[in-house]
Homo-oligomer: A and B are copies of this chain.
Amino acid sequence: MSNPTAGILVIGDEILSGRTKDKNIGWLADELTALGISLRQARIIADDRQTIIDNVRALSEAYDYVFTSGGIGPTHDDITTESIACAFGVEVIRHPEAEARLLKHYQGTDIEFNEARQKMADIPEGATLIDNPVSAAPGYQIENVFVMAGVPSILQSMFHGFSAQLTGGVQPRRITVQCAIGEGTIADIMQAISDQFPEVSVGSYPWFKPGQFGTAVVLTSTDSERAGQAAEALMTQVREQGFGADIDDNAK
Q: What sequence of 0s and 1s flags, for each residue 182-219 of chain A, a beta carbon within 8 Å of any chain B beta carbon? A: 11111110110010000001111110000000000010
Across the interface, do B44 and A75 meet the contact criterion of CB distance under 8 Å?
Answer: no
Copy total for this chain: 2
Across the interface, do A206 and B17 meet the contact criterion of CB distance under 8 Å?
Answer: no
Residues of B near A44 (CB, < 8 A) are 25, 41-43
Give the complex CA separation of A76 and B203 in angstroms: 9
Q: Which residue of B lies closest to A31 (CB)?
A: B18
Give the complex CA separation of A202 and B78 in angstroms: 11
CB distance from A77 to the nearest CB of B (A): 5
Across the interface, do B14 and A77 meet the contact criterion of CB distance under 8 Å?
Answer: no
Decide if A111 is an interface residue (CB 8 Å cutoff). Answer: yes
Residues of B near A188 (CB, < 8 A) are 114-116
Across the interface, do B187 and A76 meet the contact criterion of CB distance under 8 Å?
Answer: yes
Decide if A21 is an interface residue (CB 8 Å cutoff). Answer: yes
Decide if A220 is an interface residue (CB 8 Å cutoff). Answer: yes
CB distance from A147 to the nearest CB of B (A): 18
Give the complex CA separation of A114 and B45 in angstroms: 42
Which of B22, B117, B191, B218 is the one whose CB lies under 8 Å from A76?
B191
Decide if A53 is an interface residue (CB 8 Å cutoff). Answer: no
Q: What sequence of 0s and 1s flags, for each residue 14-31 of chain A, a beta carbon within 8 Å of any chain B beta carbon? A: 111111111001110111
Residues of B near A172 (CB, < 8 A) are 17
Across the interface, do A111 and B185 meet the contact criterion of CB distance under 8 Å?
Answer: yes
Across the interface, do B43 and A190 meet the contact criterion of CB distance under 8 Å?
Answer: no
13 additional A-B pairs beyond A18-B26, A43-B44, A112-B184, beta carbons within 8 Å, are A13-B201, A13-B203, A15-B25, A15-B29, A16-B29, A17-B174, A41-B51, A73-B183, A74-B187, A75-B187, A75-B191, A75-B204, A119-B187
26 contacts between A and B (CB under 8 A): A13-B203, A14-B203, A15-B26, A16-B40, A17-B29, A18-B32, A22-B25, A41-B43, A41-B46, A41-B51, A42-B44, A43-B44, A47-B203, A74-B183, A74-B187, A75-B186, A77-B190, A77-B202, A77-B203, A77-B204, A111-B182, A111-B185, A112-B185, A115-B187, A116-B188, A117-B187
